[in-house]
Amino acid sequence: MKSNQIIKKFLNKKLFENKTILITGANGVLGKKLCEIFLDLNAKLILIDKKIKKSLDKNIKTLSIDFTNTKILEQTLIKERKKFKKLDFIINNAAYTGSNINWIKPLNFQTFKDWRNAHKVNLDSVFIISKILSKILIKNRGKIINIGSIFSETVPNFSNYKGTNMNSPAAYSVSKNSLLHLTKWQASYFAPCVNVNMISPGGIYRNQNKKFLKKYINSTPLKKMCKEEDVIFAILFLLSDMSNYITGQNLIIDGGYSIL
């Protein structure tokens, strides 16, 4: 059974009817899947990414913003928020993937430019978005989900990357760790009007190097990698009324990888 069919089976299609959801990183793999599912559940969407096409769908509003330019992000949101008649949920999904191959090379190749840009996209954008849209969220008693990583609470096992062209840059782990603390701060600040939680996936399967896959899967109790659907199911739970008494938490979805 496909993920969309599973979701339809267990969720009332009216659950997100007329709800407005802002999704950053909307043009990525997870972002596109979220867009598809929430439209199918009758939600209205505000989609933001560095490059995203305008939609003819009246239920979709798109904004092309480069999050490494925090000044433009702030100015655009201040201008556009007057058009946001309603905002119920924010999914901070945008993530920095590096400017060139040096991003995934050893530490001595990693650049300060990438370090700063990773923090701008993975952390600063979350602060700016919640700051500018805070009054709307509070008024609507909304919810925020920040997409983190297992590296928000642990450090990479670098032996998994040996013999591959893969690596886990310092900027990624550190920015996700800071995002976890920001999530808890937001949860405390916005209470009792807005629930704020974080979802931290383990490695998501993307046709990675076979050596890496073997090492990673052997290190995971459930013996498989994470899929987009695993993250989406958690997002749907945290945005539904089933999670109304949950805030300030980091839901780790890693098949048990981080417990070993």
Domain ranges of the chain: 17-259
- What pLDDT, on the 0 to 100 scale, is given for residue 58? 92
d(CA 239, CA 231): 12
Q: Give me 55's structure tokens.
A: 């939609």
- Specify the higher pLDDT residue, 156 or 2: 156
Per-residue model confidence as pLDDT tens digits over 106-165 = 899 999 999 999 999 999 999 999 999 999 999 999 999 999 999 999 999 999 999 888
Return the CATH architecture of domain 17-259. Answer: 3-Layer(aba) Sandwich (3.40)
Surface-to-core class of residue 254, CB atoms within 10 Å of its CB (0-12 exposed, 13-18 middle, 19+ buried): buried
Measuring CA to CA, how many Å separate 144 from each of 38, 120, 155, 243?
Answer: 15, 18, 25, 12
Helix, strand, or coil (residue 180): helix
